[in-house]
């Protein structure tokens, strides 16, 4: 019986509330018979509500409490004892800070391979959002990335970040988007302005105001799906610009329904300050939408030429959107290119890639692992 321990970035009730329940997210290729979630919360959601995350595996959720800056040191022994009792074949953690350090410490003490994923360039975040807290977590970050068995990067772009902080073994597995879930709609022309869609957290990592200001210069409709600290300021900006009739806010859509919004759109747009991957861009590609996006971090890598990459300002977006609005053939060609690219990096391919990494780590085959990590484990296709 194969067992996996997962230390997620958030308690599971947050994944559920955001609609981020994805099939086999923590059990690629149905590799594991049991999955144990170590939830850093006082209590968490019922297992049956999130069973999809682990496929057919038996799911166990252990709510072990929420550590603070002062109590975190006590959790290292607590996690190690629990992991020792579970006796997993592999430990999987999200993020290089408290979650990753707890997992790596237990893995090293018990001789269990530990995979830690990085989803964002935290150094880019520090440059964009300087704060004392981001500086204080550096020791955890360095410890985690230096001591993980493998650091799983969600883009080739993130390898440099991970290696700057001491990672020895890095491996790319793109965030999983299953193309068959995002079938393009049948082509037909609706009355009224073209519909531009953007899906993003409304926080400082993103740049949603850029899209609103760009839309104000064009006869286009913008739908923003997401929520966050910038929401009220953005709603005020919409009023100030007099575009209330052309900007629609949708705070939350379950993952199982998000494809419908892509199918209703004509163009997808993404403006962002820093990224690790940007799942909505790949979802839009899978849905066959033409894309306009900023030249930010890994986005050009994900697009691979199947979209318009522009400077990070409203004027550049307004011009690119106007060009696409006036050229149906260009929209069709970009959409087809995006769909082809999405199929080349489909979730099933990534699931297999992740599952193979886990198998090799559990078999402790250094020779096979070295072969997998040739070219620094980058995907590069």
Are 31 and 88 in a shared domain? yes
Please give the mean pLDDT across all residues of the chain: 95
In this prediction, residue 365 carries a pLDDT of 82
Are 311 and 327 in a shared domain? yes
Beta carbons within 8 Å of 68's beta carbon, 6+ residues apart: none
- The answer, yes or no, to whether residue 188 has pLDDT greater than 60, is no
In this prediction, residue 367 carries a pLDDT of 86
Best CA proximity match to 333, nearest among 306, 368, 365 = 306
Mean pLDDT of the region 176-198:
84
pLDDT tens figures, 213-256: 999 989 999 999 999 999 999 999 999 999 999 999 999 898 88
In this prediction, residue 370 carries a pLDDT of 87
Are 167 and 206 in a shared domain? no
Are 186 and 292 in a shared domain? yes
Are 29 and 58 in a shared domain? yes
pLDDT tens figures, 245-300: 999 999 989 888 999 999 999 999 999 999 999 999 999 999 999 999 999 999 99
- The answer, yes or no, to whether residue 317 has pLDDT greater than 90, is yes
Are 69 and 142 in a shared domain? yes
In this prediction, residue 381 carries a pLDDT of 62
- The answer, yes or no, to whether residue 13 has pLDDT greater than 80, is yes
Are 265 and 324 in a shared domain? yes
Q: What is the pTM of this model?
A: 0.92
Are 7 and 149 in a shared domain? yes
Are 189 and 325 in a shared domain? yes
Distances, alpha carbon 245 to alpha carbons 190, 222, 235, 241, 249, in Å: 17, 10, 12, 11, 11
Give the CATH number of the domain where residue 310 resides.
Answer: 3.40.50.2000
Are 219 and 322 in a shared domain? yes
In this prediction, residue 256 carries a pLDDT of 85
> With bands split at pLDDT 50, 70 and 90, how would you rate the model's confidence at 189?
low
Count of structural domains within the chain: 2
In this prediction, residue 320 carries a pLDDT of 97
pLDDT tens figures, 355-370: 999 999 999 888 888 8
Domain of 268 in residue numbering reads as: 179-344
Are 26 and 170 in a shared domain? yes
Residue 54 CA to residue 49 CA, distance in Å, equals 11
Are 101 and 148 in a shared domain? yes
Per cent of the chain over pLDDT 70 is 98
pLDDT tens figures, 328-339: 999 999 999 999
């Amino acid at each position: 019986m194969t067992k996996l321990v997962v230390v997620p970035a958030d308690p599971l009730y947050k994944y559920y509330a955001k609609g981020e329940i994805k099939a086999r997210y923590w059990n690629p290729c149905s590799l594991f018979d049991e999955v144990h979630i170590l939830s850093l919360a006082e209590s968490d959601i019922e297992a049956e509500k999130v069973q999809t995350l682990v496929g057919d595996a038996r799911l166990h959720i252990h709510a072990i409490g929420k550590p603070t800056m002062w109590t975190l040191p006590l959790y290292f022994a607590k996690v190690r004892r629990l992991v020792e009792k579970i006796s997993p074949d592999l430990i999987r953690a999200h993020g290089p800070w408290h979650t990753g350090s707890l997992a790596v410490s237990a893995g090293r003490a018990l001789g269990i391979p530990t995979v830690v994923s990085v989803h964002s360039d935290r150094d880019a975040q520090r440059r964009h959002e300087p704060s004392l807290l981001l500086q204080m977590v550096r020791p955890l970050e360095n410890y985690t990335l230096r001591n993980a068995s493998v650091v799983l990067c969600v883009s080739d772009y993130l390898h440099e970040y991970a290696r700057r902080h001491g990672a020895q073994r890095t491996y790319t597995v793109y965030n999983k988007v299953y193309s068959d879930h995002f079938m393009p709609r049948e082509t037909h022309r609706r009355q009224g302005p073209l519909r531009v869609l953007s899906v993003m957290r409304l926080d400082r990592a993103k740049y949603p105001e850029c899209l609103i200001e760009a839309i104000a210069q064009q006869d286009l409709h913008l739908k923003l799906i997401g929520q966050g600290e910038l929401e009220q300021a953005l709603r005020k900006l919409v009023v100030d610009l007099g575009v209330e009739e052309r900007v629609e806010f949708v705070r939350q859509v379950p993952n199982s329904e998000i494809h419908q919004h892509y199918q209703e759109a004509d163009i997808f747009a993404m403006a962002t300050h820093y990224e690790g991957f940007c799942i909505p861009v790949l979802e839009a590609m899978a849905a066959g939408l033409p894309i306009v996006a900023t030249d930010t971090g890994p986005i050009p890598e994900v697009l691979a030429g199947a979209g318009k990459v522009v400077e990070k300002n409203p004027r550049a977006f307004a011009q690119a959107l106007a060009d696409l609005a006036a050229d149906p053939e260009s929209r069709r060609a970009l959409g087809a290119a995006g769909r082809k690219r999405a199929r080349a990096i489909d979730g099933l391919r990534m699931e297999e890639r992740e599952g193979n990494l886990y198998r090799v780590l559990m078999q402790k085959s250094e020779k096979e692992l070295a072969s997998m990590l040739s070219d620094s484990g980058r995907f590069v296709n």
